[in-house]
Amino acid sequence: MNEDPGAPNYDPQHKLICSMFNGSRGPLMRKTTGLDWAGDPIEVENRFHPGHGERSYAEMLAHFKDYNDTVGDHPQNLAATSLAANAFMLTGEAKYRNWLLEYVDAWQQRMQDNNGIIPSNIGLDGSIGGATNGKWYGGVYGWGFSVKVPQTGAIANRNQVHRAVIGFSNAFLLTGNRQDIDAWTGMIDRINSNSKMIDGQRMYPRMFGDHGWYDFTAEPWSQGALECYFWTLRPERPTARSCQ
């Protein structure tokens, strides 16, 4: 909300959160390093079980070495709407509701401007892909975020844009406006429309990079579909108004 002068996380002109790294100290406005993610050195072996199997602090740093593009807005920042939703429900102050809807509406517009697909980076000037050389699929945990696993050398696809559905759910909670759900279900349809036959089987993409859609699997992309059905109890998926 920028009410703390030491934490100017939000740009009200461009309606964006300025970095994936944000909080009570404000946004981190440079490329991040493994040290930013891993924190201070710790003893790992025989003490901790890191989620990606790192056996040492050095491997923790190596895990995060390509987690660099965090400047600008990212879909995961829509999780911040939960703070605003709770503040509004606890206090009744309209400023929290207004901020939440302004921010979600901005992301809906970005989806509309990107052919119905939520972009995974918004530059500080408000442009899609503005902090990742114009690539709408850029950024940490974005559509094209594939990194090497240091222990094995294998490539891991770590697209986490689906977490943005939290923001749309909070907007729907406060307004009951179906367009917040339709934007998401419309995106599901658009992603799956890029399916193709591989070895005689219909396959669906999970990632998008410099050469188009990739990481095809047998299951359709359905992140957030169950939630959308739960919120509406309507099985049909009408075309999203914001994507027409």
Q: pLDDT tens digits for 83-101?
A: 999 999 999 999 999 999 9
Q: Identify each DSSP E strand in the chain by its residue range.
A: 10-11, 16-17, 146-148, 155-157, 196-198, 201-203, 207-209, 212-214
Of all helices (H) and strands (E), which one includes residue 230?
helix 225-232
Residue 168, domain member (yes or no): yes
Angle (CA) 230 185 227, round 5° = 20
CA distance linking residue 182 with residue 188, whole number of Å: 10
DSSP-derived 3-state class of residue 53:
coil
Our count of domains for the chain comes to 1
Residue 47, domain member (yes or no): no
Q: In 123-178, which ranges are continuous DSSP H helix?
A: 165-175
Residue 210, domain member (yes or no): yes
Residue 175, domain member (yes or no): yes
CA distance linking residue 21 with residue 35, whole number of Å: 13
Evaluate if residue 25 carries a pLDDT over 60.
yes
Contact present, 136 and 121 (Cβ < 8 Å): yes
Evaluate if residue 151 carries a pLDDT over 90.
no
DSSP class of residue 103 equals H
Q: Which residue range(s) make up the domain with 89?
A: 10-32+67-243
State pTM to two decimals: 0.91
